[in-house]
Amino acid sequence: MLNEREGAVLTSREACDYLRISRPTYVKYLHTGRIKGAKAGKGWKVLKSELDRFLRGENAN
């Protein structure tokens, strides 16, 4: 279940579900810098606050 805290760390699957986008699109956004995340093993981790920033249309710093 998705944690509602702003500092929550989401897996790729959770992030895709939250954003309602496909995994290839999510990975493309990570690689192009539209979403900031960290590679963790074979997957990616991202802060929920980063996804909220993305949804608001704010640019990554």
Number of compact structural domains in the chain = 1
Residue 48 CB contacts under 8 Å (≥ 6 apart), including other chains: 2, 3, 5, 6, 7, 8, 9, 10, 18
Range of the domain at 50: 9-56
Q: Which residue has the tokens 């954003």?
A: 19
Residue 1 lies in a domain: no
What is the residue type of 42?
K
CATH number at residue 35: 1.10.10
Check residues 50 and 61 and name the one with the higher pLDDT.
50
What is the residue type of 41?
G
Residue 46 lies in a domain: yes
Residue 17 lies in a domain: yes
Which pTM value belongs to this model? 0.82
Over residues 8-59, the pLDDT tens digits come to 999 999 999 999 999 999 999 999 999 999 999 999 999 999 999 999 998 7
Residue 7 pLDDT: 79
pLDDT band at 1 (very low <50, low <70, confident <90, very high): very low
Residue 3 lies in a domain: no
The upper half-sphere exposure of residue 61, i.e. CA atoms within 13 Å in the direction of its Cβ, equals 2
Residue 33 lies in a domain: yes
Report the alpha-carbon distance of residue 30 to residue 2 in Å, rounded: 20
